[in-house]
């Protein structure tokens, strides 16, 4: 592996400096924690839908009202949960992640003046 020189060395050093800052570490930790939790919820719900459809087709065929059955409610629930997860992520990011990202950017810009 070659050692970076010139502008590449500056970029590498700059990134390593940013990466080791407390704000960047906190930003990554918060983002990872949120994404892991939302991913787990979504995949769990999705797998429950798939598994129940495969192993409990009679449950999915139960009519709730008219032509609406449990299976249809599960699928509509999938769509709604995707929208809710997206809305929650956007709200969380605006409130908790964006201010940290701005702080990281400000620290970087201050150090490069």
- Report pLDDT digits (tens) over 32-53: 999 999 999 999 999 999 999 9
- Count of residues in the chain: 113
- Report pLDDT digits (tens) over 94-106: 999 999 999 999 9
Task: Inform me whether the pLDDT recorded for 2 exceeds 70.
Answer: no
* Burial annotation 66-79 (CB, 10 A radius, 16+ → b, else e): eeeebbeebeeebe
Helix 98-111 with 22-55: angle, nearest 10 deg:
150
Alpha-carbon gap, residue 94 to 38, rounded angstroms: 16
Global pTM reads 0.79
């Amino acid at each position: 592996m070659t050692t970076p020189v010139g502008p590449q060395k500056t970029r590498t050093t700059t990134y390593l400096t940013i990466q080791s800052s407390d704000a960047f570490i906190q930003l990554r930790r918060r983002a990872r924690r949120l994404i892991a939790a939302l991913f787990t919820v979504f995949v769990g719900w999705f797998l429950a839908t798939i598994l129940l459809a495969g192993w409990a087709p009679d449950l999915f065929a139960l009519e709730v009202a008219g032509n609406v059955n449990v299976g249809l409610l599960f699928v509509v629930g999938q769509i709604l949960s995707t929208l809710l997860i997206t809305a929650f992520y956007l709200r969380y990011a605006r409130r908790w992640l964006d201010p940290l990202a701005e702080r990281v950017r400000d620290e970087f810009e201050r150090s490069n003046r």
